[in-house]
Amino acid sequence: MTAVIETKGLGKRYRRPWALADCTLSVPAGHVVGLVGPNGAGKSTLLNLAAGLLAPTTGTIEVLGGPAPANPAQLARLGFLAQDAPVYAALSVADHLKLGAHLNPGWDQSLARDRINQLDLDPGQKAGTLSGGQRAQLALTLALGKRPALLILDEPVASLDPLARREFLQDLMEAVAEQDLSVVLSSHLIADLERVCDYLIVLVGSRVRVAGPVEELLATHHLLTGPRRDPATLPDGQQVISGSHTDVQSTLLVRTSSPVLDPAWTVSEVGLEDMVLAYMRQAAGPGRRRTSGNHLEVQK
Amino acid sequence: MIWLTWRQFRPQAVTSLAVLAAFAILLAATGPHLASLYATSGLAGCQASCNHAASSFLGRVSGFYPLVFMLGIAGVILAPAVIGVFWGAPLIAREFETGTFRLAWTQSITRARWIASKLALPGLAAIAVTEGLSLMYGWWAAPIGQAARVASGSFPLGMGPFGLLAFDAHGVVPIGYAAFGFALGVTAGVLIRRALPAMALTLAIFAAVQVAMPLAIRPALFPPAHTTQSLAANFSGQQSMGPGGTFGFILDYLDGEPGAWIFSSGAVNAAGQPVSVMPAACVTAASSADGPNQCLASHGIGIGVSYLPTSRYWPLQWTETGIYLALALVLAGFSYWRLGRRLP
């Protein structure tokens, strides 16, 4: 599996606290990768490092097989949509397309113009008067017009209302289907990611808690309900992510690649959101069993 | 990149062109009359004892004209500050405030090019606008400056070539001021990253530098010349006498060196030493109608003057411009370096 973003021991410190510390992860190519984690997990810092907007304090980061973009040729292969989708308020929609055309050698004007037409944006309108959803769409158009190999979106829908959010993601999916590109998008809204991502990375406290194709993750996580039992007595292949116990009953979220055969358990499917939350809770609470090292197992 | 810089700079460019045009119209409407006043004053062909002609010309420049004169000088002097505050400070700070630097820096250009074009285009425009104002104003005010050169001190604000405000508004120094003001604003914006505080800091520092320059630095750039004027007929200045035969002189202008910048003047004896008490022989003469000057002169007392001759005008202009341009380059270089490093 080739990686579009590969980091080793990556760290970034602004003044005192580390925004990202000792982060090692690999983002595979050809996927729509969701980067999910609580606020302060280092998602935004990681993506800004990947876009070359920040320099790492420690460690290394490779993007599309080279160092984080610093020269025009590398930047041309990367589309970046920053948090809150910044655009120039005083410039019109058409000006933004001109900006894209002037600053990017690989600019696809017809793609950009078609998108603006489809979105029903008035080319003469000042970007400052656009709605939040329209502004995000304009910023996405700028990023897609570069014809990038990798599109990075930092919390693209966080500030949008539910309708605009859905439209934006749908639009993003269409663009991904048309262009052959890898996508990384961060969010703390798991429901949104579920709709568009086929690969998930859960980042908590700079650490990858779990990573893998969404389908595989769903297939290997099970919710077990049965008589109360000490999680330590489970078979070796079953890794407990979270558990809750009443006097007589245990409910465990386990990860295992083999089927659960013990008839004492009632096995049920688990949703992506519950699964992600379990990993976040696991990271937040005191170590139950093993809390890290998952990313090594997933890279099969 | 130049396109984006230009597109972002367009509103300021339009505003400054409008200001330049309004200024030009005002000066073009009033300039010819001023020139004709000068032509009929007899100052143009005047060879000697021109003080009277100069004073009478300046006396006729009345009503509306002193107002335009002041307005013009204020415009030229304030332009670099306005440019630094309203062009320089928000230039980069606004990009940080609105997050648009993330948009700009992820296009397919180097950050160095982005910074360079942002510094170059508005920076050169700042210089062009300020020097344009100065040249127009210089053309308009030339007759007044000429008259003031002859009759230094008889016009408000001491309008000799080295006059506090006149020096700042003429010649090439406005180029230096504009470049410095702009670069100072940009640097403040780069460091503070918020437009409003950056604007305030720019104004404060620029004002401090513009006060310190003429008061502390400019007089020290060239060594002054020294001369001793006799207490003869043409003495023009103020003379003071106190109890016990103390006395002093202050010279308003230097005969033979009209427009010279007089740093200090005072009574000196034949050996060039400053004196403050007149010889006993002259004390009685002091109370006579003729005054003590003839007596003092016979005792070898004259007025020692240290001054900067007008021949130093252009060297001083270029030196000061050079200092400001060097400061501007250092600040621009710092901003360039600072932004070139990867920052949030």
Q: State the pLDDT at residue A192.
A: 83
Q: State the pLDDT at residue B155.
A: 47
Interchain pair A75, B106: CB under 8 A? yes
Note the pLDDT tens digit of each residue in B89-114: 999 999 999 999 999 999 999 888 99
Q: What average pLDDT does the structure give for chain B?
A: 87
Q: From the candidates A75, A80, A103, A154, which should be mutated to test the interface with B, based on the most B CB atoms within 10 A?
A: A103
Residue A288 is given by DSSP the state: -
Residues 6+ apart with CB under 8 A from A54: A12, A45, A48, B342, B343, B344
Residue B152: band (very low, low, confident or very high) from pLDDT cuts 50, 70, 90:
low
- What is the least distance, in Å, from the CA of B341 to any CA of chain A? 8
Residue of A nearest to B2 (CA): A102
- What is the least distance, in Å, from the CA of B116 to any CA of chain A? 14
Residue B243 is given by DSSP the state: G
Q: What CA–CA distance (Å, rounded) separates A100 from A292? A: 42
Interchain pair B107, A100: CB under 8 A? yes
Q: Classify strands A266-268 and B247-251 as parallel, antiparallel or unpaired.
A: unpaired
Same domain, B234 and B213: no
**Structural domains of chain A, with CATH:** 3-205 (3.40.50.300), 218-298 (no CATH)
Q: Classify strands A182-187 and A32-36 as parallel, antiparallel or unpaired.
A: parallel
Q: State the pLDDT at residue B342.
A: 55
Amino acid at position A24, single letter: T
Are A153 and A183 in contact by the 8 Å Cβ rule? The answer is: yes
Same domain, B61 and B15: yes
Helix (H, G, I), strand (E, B) or coil at A235: coil
For range B263-289, the mean pLDDT: 82
The least confident of A127-131, B65-69, B247-251 is B247-251
Same domain, B90 and B134: yes
Q: Name the strand (E) or helix (H) holding A226.
A: strand A221-227
**What sign results for the dihedral spanned by CA atoms B320, B322, B326, B332?**
positive
Residue B344: band (very low, low, confident or very high) from pLDDT cuts 50, 70, 90:
very low
Q: State the pLDDT at residue B208.
A: 97
Q: Name the strand (E) or helix (H) holding B318.
A: helix B313-340
Same domain, B306 and B317: no
Q: What CA–CA distance (Å, rounded) separates B103 from B111? A: 11
Q: What CA–CA distance (Å, rounded) separates B301 from B298? A: 7
Look up the domain containing B108 and give its range: 2-221+313-340
Block means of pLDDT (10 residues each) for chain A, 300 residues, are 86 83 90 90 91 91 87 91 93 95 94 92 94 93 94 91 90 88 89 88 88 92 89 84 88 87 87 89 59 33
Residue B151: band (very low, low, confident or very high) from pLDDT cuts 50, 70, 90:
low
Nearest by Cα to B72 from B18, B155, B124, B142: B142
Picking from B7, B8, B108, the nearest residue to A75 by CB comes out as B108
Are B310 and B317 in contact by the 8 Å Cβ rule? The answer is: no
| Relative orientation angle of helices A162-178 and A132-145, to the nearest 10 degrees | 10
Q: What CA–CA distance (Å, rounded) separates B170 from B131? A: 9
Are A100 and A146 in contact by the 8 Å Cβ rule? The answer is: yes
Q: What CA–CA distance (Å, rounded) separates B43 from B75? A: 28
Residue A125, CA distances (Å) to A92, B334, B343 in order? 5, 37, 32
Number of residues assigned to chain A? 300
Query: For residue A80, which residues of chain B lie inside 8 Å, CB to CB?
Result: 102, 106
Query: For residue B3, which residues of chain A lie inside 8 Å, CB to CB?
Result: 98-99, 102
Q: Name the strand (E) or helix (H) holding B84.
A: none
Start-to-end CA distance of chain A, whole Å, equals 9
Note the pLDDT tens digit of each residue in A103-113: 999 999 999 99
Same domain, B108 and B169: yes
Q: State the pLDDT at residue B41.
A: 81
Number of domains observed in the structure of chain B: 2
Amino acid at position A127, single letter: A
CA dihedral B192, B197, B201, B207 (to 10 degrees): 150
**B82 or B161, higher pLDDT:** B82
Residue B213 is given by DSSP the state: I
Helix (H, G, I), strand (E, B) or coil at A8: strand
Are B167 and B161 in contact by the 8 Å Cβ rule? The answer is: yes
Residue of B nearest to A140 (CA): B103
Residue B85, CA distances (Å) to A177, A286, B88, B176, B195 in order? 48, 54, 6, 16, 9
Q: From the candidates A99, A138, A141, A151, which should be mutated to test the interface with B, based on the most B CB atoms within 10 A?
A: A99
Same domain, B305 and B319: no
Same domain, B105 and B205: yes
- What is the least distance, in Å, from the CA of B209 to any CA of chain A? 32
Are A92 and A126 in contact by the 8 Å Cβ rule? The answer is: yes
Q: What CA–CA distance (Å, rounded) separates B46 from B334? A: 52
Q: State the pLDDT at residue B260.
A: 84
Same domain, B330 and B257: no
Residue B317: band (very low, low, confident or very high) from pLDDT cuts 50, 70, 90:
very high
- What is the least distance, in Å, from the CA of A163 to any CA of chain B? 25
Are B143 and B38 in contact by the 8 Å Cβ rule? The answer is: yes
Same domain, B107 and B175: yes
Q: What CA–CA distance (Å, rounded) separates B140 from B278? A: 47
- What is the least distance, in Å, from the CA of A202 to any CA of chain B? 23
User: Residue B335 CB: number of other CB atoms within 10 A?
Assistant: 23
Residue-by-residue DSSP string for B136-155: HHHHHHHHHHHHHHHTTTSS
Same domain, B87 and B114: yes
Are B342 and A55 in contact by the 8 Å Cβ rule? The answer is: yes
For range B45-59, the mean pLDDT: 75
Same domain, B238 and B139: no
Q: State the pLDDT at residue B158.
A: 58
Same domain, B95 and B73: yes
**B30 or B154, higher pLDDT:** B30
Query: For residue B107, which residues of chain A lie inside 8 Å, CB to CB?
Result: 75, 99-100, 103-104, 146
Task: Identify any residues that bridge with A221 across adjacent strands, giving them in sequence order.
Answer: A255
- Taking the Cβ of residue B323 and every Cβ of chain A, the question of whether any pair is shorter than 8 Å is answered with no
Query: For residue A69, which residues of chain B lie inside 8 Å, CB to CB?
Result: 106
ipTM rounded to 2 decimals: 0.87
Half-sphere exposure of A155 (CA within 13 A, CB side): 19
